[in-house]
Amino acid sequence: MGAIIKGRGAADNREGRFERYRVEPAEEAADDRGGAGGPRTEVRAERSRRIISGNDSPDLPFSRSINPYRGCEHGCIYCFARPTHAYLNLSPGLDFETRLYYKQNAAELLERELSRPGYRPQAIQLGANTDPYQPIERGIGLTRSLLEVLLRFRHPVTIVTKSHLILRDLDLLGELAKLRLCRVMVSVTTLDEALKRGLEPRTPSPRARLQAIEALARRGVPVGVLAAPMIPAVNDHELEAILKAAASAGARSAGYVLLRLPHEVAPLFERWLHDHLPLRAAHVLSRIAAMREGRLNDARFGSRMAGRGVEARLLAQRFALACRRFGLAAGERVQLEVGAFRVPADRDPQLGLDFETG
């Protein structure tokens, strides 16, 4: 068993796939773990040139997204976004969860892009890669500033989060919901608190996420549950229990995603298994491979989210049956309002011109 860093998902800072050199620390060297709590989180501001990203994947229910943050302090060991830190010459391991960036001009850019002549609204997804309500959002408030802009422009938005911090913005979400402009999916990976602490060390508890679903539903915000990722022989046995608990809390729809292990995520997850579930590690990896045609990852459209083979089909059938049993719409794509979109008067340059009359 390797060293487990309390409060962090990754146990090392292995190099990204673009690095030419690999550093091997001496075994006797002392680890800099920032004291008992592990490595400290570093947060830096950056200014972006654009804020709305396009998506043409047929596997995803959105075509536009905004990611206010790069990196994520939640530290989910399985996070498919970890490899993006390699583009910054940082490690998808500990760096991904400790060296974070926020786009400080995000709200300004969003106003500018929505105000462009000829802009046509489509739902924008907040949190396509990293969680828009990760812990640093509490102090920075970037996601809230984006929601304020979207409400002013009457623009549709969808959100995926693991955090009950979303309840801070119930006032904005409630107003958006009245106009049929928002939908929220709350990700619940497990109902087992001990497993949650290992898989997702800095995320809110399963109970807090269910309470968030309940509060959103009471406020009239369309809310669903995302049982993700489903990890064979780790949490896949909880699928029905997660859907039942979410439905009882007020969820109206549900989705699931099979574990994905792209690029550097695979070795990180393998080490996590050997550190946290050593007696089960080989079995878990073999089950994953059975659902990925002998590989740990399959990046092909149409199969990367759900897998292939007998076990993958059984999981899909279990999901469909549970949704029917608990009254959840499977994979529902809520039709949000796009006709209400408008550029506020204070953003319309033509309204600021002075014309002579006479």
Note the pLDDT of residue 60.
67
Residue 23's CB is within 10 A of a number of other CB atoms, namely 8
Which pLDDT tens digit goes with each residue over 149-195?
999 999 999 999 999 999 999 999 999 999 999 999 999 999 999 99
DSSP assignment, residue 130?
S
Range with the lowest mean pLDDT among 52-66, 126-140, 152-166? 52-66
Which pLDDT tens digit goes with each residue over 208-222?
999 999 999 999 999
Instruction: Assign 299 to helix, strand or coil.
Output: coil
Q: Is the pLDDT of residue 303 over 90?
A: no
Q: Is the pLDDT of residue 207 over 80?
A: yes
Confidence of residue 22 (pLDDT cuts 50, 70, 90): low
Note the pLDDT of residue 353.
45
Q: How far apart are CA 113 and CA 106, in angstroms?
A: 10
Average pLDDT over residues 109-119: 95
Q: How far apart are CA 300 and CA 292, in angstroms?
A: 10
**Of residues 176 and 333, which shows the higher confidence score?**
176
Note the pLDDT of residue 305.
80
| CA 4 centroid distance within chain | 24
Q: Is the pLDDT of residue 90 over 90?
A: yes
Q: What are the structure tokens assigned to 127, written together?
A: 């949190």
Confidence of residue 85 (pLDDT cuts 50, 70, 90): very high
Which pLDDT tens digit goes with each residue over 9-18?
887 777 766 6
| 139 in Cβ contact with 105 (< 8 Å) | no
Which pLDDT tens digit goes with each residue over 233-280?
999 999 999 999 999 999 999 999 999 999 999 999 999 999 999 999
Place of tokens 């994520």: 72
Domains annotated on the chain, with CATH: 40-336 (3.80.30.30)
Average pLDDT over residues 140-151: 98
